[in-house]
Amino acid sequence: MRPFVLLLTGLLALPAVADAQDIALPPAVRQRLAAQATSLAPRLVETRRDIHRHPELGFRETRTAALIAERLRSLGFDEVRERVGVTGVVAVLKGGRPGKVVAIRADMDALPIPELIDVPYKSTVPNVKHACGHDGHVSIGLGVAEVLASMRAEIPGTVVFLFQPAEEGDPDGGLSGAQRMLDAGVFAGPVPTAVFGLHVLPTLQVGTLGVNVGAAMASSNRFTITITGKKTHAAYPHTGIDPVPVAAQVVSVLQTIPSRMNNAAEPIVVSVGTINGGNRFNIIADSVTLTGTVRTLSKDGPARVRAWMERAVKGVTDASGATYTFDWPTSGNPVTFNEETLAAASLPVLADVVGGRANILSPPPQMGAEDFALYQQKMPGLFFFLGVGNTARNITAMIHTEYFDMDEAALPIGVRALSSVALDYLYRK
Ligand code: NI
């Protein structure tokens, strides 16, 4: 029955007939959200371009945060807290009817990447660019705030907005924005029972959304391995212990973790990003340092890979008489995991936003990581992808590149999707 209904839906281009019964949000509210998001479109573009012209690196988003706080205050938010987790902004919108508490998160930081696209809203800061689309996320977050503020009397519950710094990590090597906001008591006010967020994705065409039930993005852990040998003259290596060939063997053995030790059905990545050691061509180095990253898609993946790595490093260094240190900070990101019940319950209203299930794609989980996962350690959360690519307009460059841009027609879709999914959660029993 269901496939038949879906087929008819596709043929007649009706919005998600099969899903309508599963949407808690009343049709009149959905129509209003759609109309408001459409009328906001020029303002969303203007806000996104303003922030795009003035990108700020992690924990330095002072202009962006001030713009956000001012806008939220002008919308009549009950509580706007600034400098939460260095530069974060937290704001609370209490609806006119009792109900649950839901959080919406948007990240604010840019990247140390030069802007190479020639557009009127080009970055004015040398070598800093909103190359991950967080300018769009802020614009969408403010759009959601505006739409929901206009209907607050009818909202059954409370919405907490989290404008988060430093999603890309601390440029100075410390904890990322989500952790710093959590440490700063981001949920000191009303405590949400679900959190929603989105990320623009140029590999998805504008008009589509990407939703994963379960793992959406990988865990990420940084590691540092230092192998210490014994320095000597390079003509007499037998009088020392050379850490360079030991490091070479360690790099090789680490490659066997994904390929030989791990179950091939569970994707993992072990990448060595830097290797440094020695100071002259004719001196055996005293030590070599390797740094890298590990990505997994399972909750127990990081611990498993860590144990394999340490065993491999210990075995190789023991065999050569060298010593090692293995540093694995606990501050990595867990898997961005969309809890199944919440994800499944959210799909019908998201399908309604984009005109049917055909426009909801389920891309393979990303091996990139997100500190949104840290909020999901506290409560169920849904992190979904907003299509911003447009091959016909040649908007195809990947995030984190000098040429990244987005089709701004996606901005009102993002506002509609995020406000609909949060309100649908509040309306749901
Ligand atoms: Ni990003």
Question: 153 C-alpha to center of ligand 1: Å?
Answer: 33
For 30-57, what is each residue's pLDDT tens digit? 999 999 999 999 999 999 999 999 999 9
- What confidence category does residue 78 fall into, taking pLDDT thresholds of 50, 70 and 90? confident
Question: 310 C-alpha to center of ligand 1: Å?
Answer: 31
> What residue ranges do the domains of the chain occupy?
20-217+335-427, 219-327
Question: 283 C-alpha to center of ligand 1: Å?
Answer: 43
What's domain 20-217+335-427's superfamily in CATH? Zn peptidases (3.40.630.10)
Looking at residue 315, its pLDDT comes to 98
Give the contacts of 405 (CB within 8 A, at least 6 positions apart). 117, 119, 395, 397
Looking at residue 246, its pLDDT comes to 98
Residue 104 and residue 422 in contact, taking contact as beta carbons nearer than 8 Å: yes
Looking at residue 21, its pLDDT comes to 84
Q: For residue 111, list its beta bridge partners.
A: 129
Residue 6 has pLDDT above 60, yes or no: no
d(Cα 233, Cα 281) in Å, to the nearest integer? 10
Question: 11 C-alpha to center of ligand 1: Å?
Answer: 36
For 326-339, what is each residue's pLDDT tens digit? 999 888 999 999 99
Residue 7 has pLDDT above 50, yes or no: no
d(Cα 419, Cα 143) in Å, to the nearest integer? 9
The amino acid at residue 248 is A
Question: 313 C-alpha to center of ligand 1: Å?
Answer: 33
d(Cα 128, Cα 126) in Å, to the nearest integer? 6
**Pairing mode, strands 88-94 and 79-84:** antiparallel
Residue 59 has pLDDT above 90, yes or no: yes
The architecture of the domain spanning 219-327 is 2-Layer Sandwich (3.30)
d(Cα 24, Cα 354) in Å, to the nearest integer? 17
Looking at residue 18, its pLDDT comes to 59
Report, as an integer, the average pLDDT of 14-23.
Answer: 66
219-327 matches 20-217+335-427 in CATH topology:
no
Percent of the chain at pLDDT > 90 equals 92
Residue 89 and residue 144 in contact, taking contact as beta carbons nearer than 8 Å: no
Residue 47 and residue 163 in contact, taking contact as beta carbons nearer than 8 Å: no
H or E stretch at 172 = none
For 292-326, what is each residue's pLDDT tens digit? 999 999 999 999 999 999 999 999 999 999 999 99
- What confidence category does residue 173 fall into, taking pLDDT thresholds of 50, 70 and 90? confident
Q: Cα separations (Å) of 61 from 130, 176, 281?
A: 12, 13, 44
- What confidence category does residue 104 fall into, taking pLDDT thresholds of 50, 70 and 90? very high
- Catalytic positions are 109, 167
For 364-406, what is each residue's pLDDT tens digit? 999 999 999 999 999 999 999 999 999 999 999 999 999 999 9
Question: 402 C-alpha to center of ligand 1: Å?
Answer: 14
Q: Cα separations (Å) of 81 from 84, 168, 182?
A: 7, 22, 14
Question: 8 C-alpha to center of ligand 1: Å?
Answer: 37
The 3-state DSSP class for residue 355 equals: coil
d(Cα 291, Cα 73) in Å, to the nearest integer? 44
For 245-298, what is each residue's pLDDT tens digit? 999 999 999 999 999 999 999 999 999 999 999 999 999 999 999 999 999 999
Give the contacts of 281 (CB within 8 A, at least 6 positions apart). 234
Q: Which ranges of 57-202 would DSSP assign to H, the alpha helix?
A: 62-74, 134-150, 177-183
Residue 319 and residue 229 in contact, taking contact as beta carbons nearer than 8 Å: no
Question: 196 C-alpha to center of ligand 1: Å?
Answer: 15
DSSP class of 397? P
Question: 396 C-alpha to center of ligand 1: Å?
Answer: 16
Question: 217 C-alpha to center of ligand 1: Å?
Answer: 11
Nearest to 388 by CA among 412, 358, 422: 412
Give the contacts of 381 (CB within 8 A, at least 6 positions apart). 194, 195, 196, 197, 338, 339, 342, 372, 375
